[in-house]
Structure 1
Amino acid sequence: MVGSVIWVGRSSIEIQLDVIQSPKEESDVSHSVALAANFIFVARDSKTGKAAAVNRLSPETEREKFLFEEAEARSKLRKKKRVDRRKLENGEVNQLEALLAEGRIFCDMPALADRDSILLRDTRLENALICQPQQRNIHGRIFGGFLMHRAFELAFSTAYVFAGLVPCFLEVDQVDFLRPVDVGDFLRLTSCVLYTELENPDQPLINVEVVAHVTRPEIRSSDVSNTFYFTFSVRPEAKATKNGFKIRNVVPATEEEARRILERMDAEMPQQNQ
């Protein structure tokens, strides 16, 4: 496992982690990357809680410069999305309308709705738990890996129920840690299939969203602590065992759902173009 800082901003740090795996039968063969992940951390002042400046990074080799430039481009894209999040261009308005058109049929004339589609809200699953002391990290908060594990289990179950076959996990698209989770917190995890990609019939893609809420009934509050995005597919050999197998298209019933779908699609486009 190899990790390094590949980019820094004023207070942000991006770290790339590669899991290196060499073939067992040929130990002298050059190592290959089995898994790659990028983590973004933000430095905070321990007293004020505000952003703290971090040391500059000076890439030297060609690879270091390449990774730095890629990370810089991702940072600019994130900033642009934050600025433009509430500004819809004409094309995006048209996309919203197109997504909502079929959803309105489901809501207003369900008997005439496309049988190859399903409402986003009908793909939802949910579970809940009380966070225990054995799940905390060295800082006394609930370990992020535990949250990811529980989110993955729910996402896998969501894809399983949706597809009707055991799904094949492809990737973790994005994980956001928006606020800490403490011991004793009542944590609710809700999931849904955001959208599917059916262009490649041999490998249809199922994009699943999981949102974690820290819920406090005594003060009537529920805050989002984490969001997780996973991509699954179904293996061709599994599909062959089920005649007439077909992944359904997911459509939103509300504008809020349509916006979430578009935001996720937009976030995926730069990764697919790399």
Structure 2
Amino acid sequence: MSSVLVRSLLRSNSIKNEFKLQLGGVLSICSNNTDPTTTMQDVKAALLKHMGLERGYRPLQPNRSHLLDMLPKNQDELPPRTMQDSFLSAVIPLSSDIVLQEKYVTFLGHVRLGRLMEDMDMFAVWVAHQHIVNPNQVPGEPTPYVLVTVLVDQIDFTDLVPKHDADIRLSGHVSWVGRSSIEVTVWLEQKVFGKWQKLTRAVFLMAARNSTNTAAAVVNRLEPGSEREKEIFLGGEGRKKRRIQSQSTSLLKQVPDDAEQQVIHDIFVSTVDSNDPNFHKRILPSHSVWMDDCTLSNIIFSHPENRNLHNKVFGGFLMRQALELSWTAGYMYSKFRPKLCHISDIGFHKPVDVGSLLRMHAYVTYSEFNYAQILVHAEVIDHRGMHSTTNNFHYTYQMPEEVPKVIPQSYHEAMMYLDGRRHFQRVMGLVK
């Protein structure tokens, strides 16, 4: 059995154990706010009311500058909160809502994971709002806070394939807080034969902004209670340090290390004729494919129905579009229906205006045994034809058989290859 496959099995068991630890530790103390009858539709309606918004698209948003006076100047003005205070659950009632099933079902009768990413993003925002208690809040007035998704940390999936006709439950709580940032951990479970089975877990990092979305806003401190809560909080601290380290060692800032340079050199040597001293011609090795031949692109025009509460394109919509494009790219590359195993960090670099042209490019950047690492690069094209990066998405897919090896040709592709290799090794537990 391949060493990568062995590690994959160990990684899968690790994910299941982490679900049990986190859910067990939190559910034992956070049961007061759960309501099994709350649906995601209720959550969306509650968010609209909380923000003082109404249904229906309006090109110009209502003026919220009068709410600025309610915002505190520092954290000491806000009461500390616990993880229990923000714990919530909501259900996607697929077992009883036929219309909803049509929206979520795939052609194989499974659930569209992209739709679930949309729901998780919306749910995470609502959970984060539960954490904020502002003594300056005027009764009857909308909240002066605007919460935006900054990034989504690594998302791991269990082996359970979600069905389109069984209820799915979202649960979550605030797991770490900075001065103006809130980390929310969200789980998905599906009811199978009367029991809730784990699907996935994701960590969302939210930025708190003022009512006009022009500056950061301070939020309540998080005070861990039990030993388990302290462990969860320290996990958030660890993720923050890992992100800082990852940024400092980015291939945009540092040259590849010695081992990575050797990897690229070995690939180059395998693609040239050893009898040609001028490296005149490159030859594709057997059971391999040039990286340039396994790419896929699309262009999306963003409509008002894709907006969030702030008239920007909803981050969950971007995640869904990118995920479905990556799956299609993986299918065309491998000729198999790929199984999504992991999603690495998703960063939201720039908001996307409604009416923008959004271009997405999917690249198979790295492959090993029966796994493929796929990057989706999203960019906005403005009216002047200028391109601006909005997101980079990294996906790890598993195929039923060994896949062709991806071979870079240019230095640019070589850096994409190494970046994909880094993401693959981290999600597979090969490196920390």
Band the TM-score falls in, shorter-chain normalisation? 0.7 to 0.9
**Residue matched to 2:403:** 247
Query: Cα–Cα, structure 1 residues 125 and 138, in superposed 2: closer, same or farther, change >3 Å?
Result: same
TM-score w.r.t. the length of structure 2 is 0.53
**Aligned 1:4-15 pairs, distance under 5 A:** 4-15=173-184
Distance 1:170 1:232 in 2: 6
Query: Cα–Cα, structure 1 residues 271 and 233, in superposed 2: closer, same or farther, change >3 Å?
Result: closer
**Residue matched to 1:62:** 227
| Alignment pair present for 1:207 and 2:373 | yes
Instruction: Using the TM superposition, name which of 182-191 and 55-64 deviates more.
Output: 55-64
1:196 deviates by: 1.2
**Residue matched to 2:201:** 36
Distance 1:268 1:170 in 2: 11
Query: Cα–Cα, structure 1 residues 48 and 109, in superposed 2: closer, same or farther, change >3 Å?
Result: same
Q: What do the CA deviations read for 1:118-144 (whole angstroms, capped 9, x no partner)?
A: 222221110112111222122111122
| Alignment pair present for 1:180 and 2:351 | yes
1:32 deviates by: 4.2
RMSD: 2.5
| Alignment pair present for 1:123 and 2:289 | no
| Alignment pair present for 1:157 and 2:328 | yes
**Aligned 1:69-108 pairs, distance under 5 A:** 69-85=234-250, 86-88=253-255, 92-103=257-268, 105=271, 108=280
Distance 2:265 2:404 in 1: 16
Q: Is the 8 A contact 2:301 2:356 kept in 1?
A: yes
1:157 deviates by: 0.9
Q: Is the 8 A contact 1:100 1:254 kept in 2?
A: no
TM-score w.r.t. the length of structure 1 is 0.81
Distance 1:209 1:225 in 2: 14
Q: Is the 8 A contact 2:175 2:185 kept in 1?
A: yes
Correspondence for 1:18 among 175, 187, 198:
187
Q: Is the 8 A contact 1:123 1:162 kept in 2?
A: yes
**Residue matched to 1:168:** 339
Q: Supply the AA of the counterpart residue of 1:8.
A: V
Query: Cα–Cα, structure 1 residues 161 and 259, in superposed 2: closer, same or farther, change >3 Å?
Result: same
1:191 deviates by: 0.4
1:46 deviates by: 4.9
Query: Cα–Cα, structure 1 residues 263 and 62, in superposed 2: closer, same or farther, change >3 Å?
Result: farther
Larger Rg over CA atoms = 2
**Residue matched to 2:412:** 256
Query: Cα–Cα, structure 1 residues 52 and 267, in superposed 2: closer, same or farther, change >3 Å?
Result: farther
Query: Cα–Cα, structure 1 residues 87 and 169, in superposed 2: closer, same or farther, change >3 Å?
Result: closer
**Residue matched to 1:243:** none
Distance 1:264 1:45 in 2: 36
1:12 deviates by: 2.5
Q: Is the 8 A contact 2:344 2:423 kept in 1?
A: no
| Alignment pair present for 1:140 and 2:311 | yes
- Runs of 5+ consecutive residues of structure 1 not aligned to the other structure: 199-203, 240-245
Distance 2:365 2:422 in 1: 13
Query: Cα–Cα, structure 1 residues 51 and 96, in superposed 2: closer, same or farther, change >3 Å?
Result: farther
Distance 2:348 2:393 in 1: 9
- Runs of 5+ consecutive residues of structure 2 not aligned to the other structure: 1-169, 273-278
Query: Cα–Cα, structure 1 residues 108 and 115, in superposed 2: closer, same or farther, change >3 Å?
Result: farther
Q: Supply the AA of the counterpart residue of 1:259.
A: M
SS at match of 2:244: helix
Distance 1:270 1:9 in 2: 25
Query: Cα–Cα, structure 1 residues 192 and 146, in superposed 2: closer, same or farther, change >3 Å?
Result: same
Q: Is the 8 A contact 1:5 1:16 kept in 2?
A: yes
SS at match of 1:219: coil
Distance 2:339 2:423 in 1: 22
Q: What do the CA deviations read for 1:236-265 (whole angstroms, capped 9, x no partner)?
A: xxx5xxxxxx41111322333333333344
Q: What do the CA deviations read for 1:64-107 (whole angstroms, capped 9, x no partner)?
A: 12211122111111112223331347xx1441342254247379
Q: Is the 8 A contact 2:302 2:357 kept in 1?
A: yes
